[in-house]
Amino acid sequence: MRIHKRYISALVALLFSMPVMAQVPAPAAKQSKPVLLKGATLHVGNGQVIENAAVGFDKGKITYAGPLNGASMSGYEVVDVSGQHIYPGLIQPNAALGLNEVESVRATIDWREIGDINPNVRSVIAYNTDSDIIPTVRANGVLMTQLTPLGGTISGSSSIVQLDAWNWEDAVVKADEGIHLNWPNMLIETGNSRTDERLKRMADRRDETILELEKLFRDAAVYKAGKRESENLKLASMAGLFTGAQKLYIHADYGKEIIEGVNFAKKHGVKEVVVVGARDAVAVADFLKANNISVIYSGVHALPSRAEEDVDMPYKTPYLLHKAGIMFALDYDLAIHGIRNLPFIAGTAAAYGLDKEQALTAVTLNTAKILGIEKQAGSVEVGKDATLVVSSGDLLDMRTNNVTYAFIQGRNIDLNNKQKYLYEKFEEKYKAQQQQVPAGATSSAGN
């Protein structure tokens, strides 16, 4: 098919006419000199709050975090953030951020692979650091995410990345840290003969899937032990599950599915298990506690799972998990564009039982512990990466969340993004239109 030169010229002109400010900001330069933030309220991330605090960092690492009167300012570039709040950078688990840009454009979607059993698939190599969505997420304080593949029974491996990088290699914080297993759904008979026939076929397929998983995990354990005849990438990619080097993330919501999936993993010698989704986690809290299972809870801003549940059950589930002694993190599991709302689901949890610092921990230090990166992230403590945010108001409240500075590994990142650009653009448009309206006339701007 021939394309007329006129259309090509128009397309090129359109591309070059796009405003530079609407593009993804370039990654920040490496920290070149020590920085000291002074005068803010420090929310450490471990439950501790320090008024009139200071945080110093050099070469990407935190060198001081404590009262201002104990800080040495010699050699530091001092930034006065008096009256503001310092928080650890928030961490979003279980996300396809950078793997999926526009739902309706297939070429921008790279979050799953063909087939049902893909433990060897690595999500991180598909990560698009130029995603327009990433800057909008950073602007609300989310600075790290767990890149998670979707689809199939075993989706592949996830990796932890920081959100300011030229490419996926620069972004990686911890590569291939876990394998994701979507536990087969249990089915409930309805009493309708036609529906029951369909459900029976689905139940048969479920049984076949579990048998396939049984064989896979047995083979992987044998392969890891060194008894092999040839190289097998699928089995080799699962070796870390049996040594504790990798976690098995079991995606399940229904209580019986959670129990079945965890028992399956334990039977096959998997060392570290995390349940993702976990809408019924409170119902099986004793089981989770007895088996030392952590939870990534995905349902705070969701409807109740059952008609008989309290309407605010999803909101108060984090408090009930905390009360039961379950290690948990919070996950904004709706559209990837909504990941910027991660601080606000923590705020909702704080309004329904958790105190503010416990809620903050659920999106910072707890998440870091579950993902295995607590030695470098999740709290503002000496020796950890200087990945933190400064907000003029409460970060967990959508009315006052206003990030003024964000640092990733000590680098002062650009907080501009496409949404801010469009807001400013159309604000100017409507201001100009209002100024042109004669006195006493009614403006039709925006109609």
The pLDDT value recorded for residue 436 is: 81
- Report residue 333's pLDDT band, with 50, 70 and 90 as the boundaries: confident
* Diameter over CA atoms, the chain: 87
Check residue 190 and give its pLDDT.
Answer: 58
Radius of gyration of the chain (CA): 24
Count of Cβ atoms closer than 10 Å to residue 408 Cβ: 25
CA angle 321, 324, 326 (to 5 degrees): 60
pLDDT digits (tens, 9 = 90+) for 41-75: 999 999 999 999 999 999 999 999 999 998 888 99
Q: What is the CATH number of domain 20-89+380-416?
A: 2.30.40.10
Instruction: Name, in order, each residue with C-beta under 8 angstroms of 349's C-beta and a sequence gap of 6 or more.
Output: 300, 315, 318, 319, 330, 359, 362
Query: Rounded to whole angstroms, how far apart are CA atoms 442 and 447?
Result: 12
| Strand order through the sheet with 294-297 | 90-95, 142-147, 154-162, 172-182, 247-252, 273-277, 294-297, 328-330
Each residue's pLDDT tens digit, 143-153: 999 999 998 99
Which residue, 107, 158, 91, 151, is CA-closest to 385? Answer: 91
Whole-number Å distance between alpha carbons of 138 and 389: 9
Tell me the fold of 90-377: TIM Barrel (3.20.20)
pLDDT at 197: 77
User: Which of these ranges, 94-108, 196-210, 359-373, has the smallest mean pLDDT?
Assistant: 94-108
Contact 100, 108 (CB under 8 A): yes
E runs forming strands in 221-362: 247-252, 273-277, 294-297, 328-330
pTM given for the model: 0.88
Per-residue pLDDT of 128-173, as tens digits, reads 999 999 999 999 999 999 999 998 999 999 999 999 999 999 999 9
- Which residues fall within 8 angstroms of residue 1, CB to CB, at 6 or more apart? none
Q: So where are the chain's domains?
A: 20-89+380-416, 90-377
Confidence of residue 11 (pLDDT cuts 50, 70, 90): very low
| pLDDT for position 299 | 87
Cβ proximity of 63 and 77 under 8 Å: no
Closest CA to 214 of 153, 268, 270, 154: 268
Identity of residue 36: L
Nearest to 149, CA basis, from 160, 157, 141: 157
- C-alpha span between 235 and 373 (Å, rounded): 25
pLDDT (average), residues 227-237:
82
Cα separation values, 262 from 244, 267, 292, 317, 320, Å: 15, 9, 11, 20, 21
What rounded mean pLDDT belongs to the chain?
A: 88
